Amino acid sequence: METIQNVQKFNNKVHYLCHVSSRVLVYPHQTESTYNSYGSFYLLGESVESSYYFKVYEDGKTFDLKLIIDELNPNFYVVKHKVFGDFLFHFENVAHWELEVKHKNIKGQKAIKRLRPWNQQKFETVCKDNNFYFVGFADLPETEETK
């Protein structure tokens, strides 16, 4: 029962994961200290949901914004921010890569989609200029999240 609850808890979030070896994804804190690459945002589960929670960082605090399927194009998700506007994300199918998430609390979870900002320049500029960042769920202890 605990495994099912953990899977449900993890599947409604956008995850930030690193590709460390063939077909294996892990959270950044699970990488070697010499790991020298960036990660990507992924959706986990068996099928695509209509919405997810996207962890963001703004002015020293982390909180969740809702990521929903775009009304005009079902291949996109959108996050609406009351000050910075809409952020559009394209999702790409990764099922053919068979990417498995290695983590003690979620056994056998597969990444089903990778999210990428549609307008990379806007995404980076707004984030950098406003101390606002999309960080995704990285399974950090709460004390680590606020550092």
Averaged pLDDT in 10-residue chunks for the chain of 147 residues: 51 86 78 78 88 92 93 91 93 78 70 91 92 87 49
Q: Tell me, what's the pLDDT at 22?
A: 74
Q: Tell me, what's the pLDDT at 142?
A: 53
What CA–CA distances, in Å, run from 119 to 2, 16, 90, 124?
Answer: 39, 19, 10, 9
Amino acid at 22: S
Q: Tell me, what's the pLDDT at 31?
A: 78
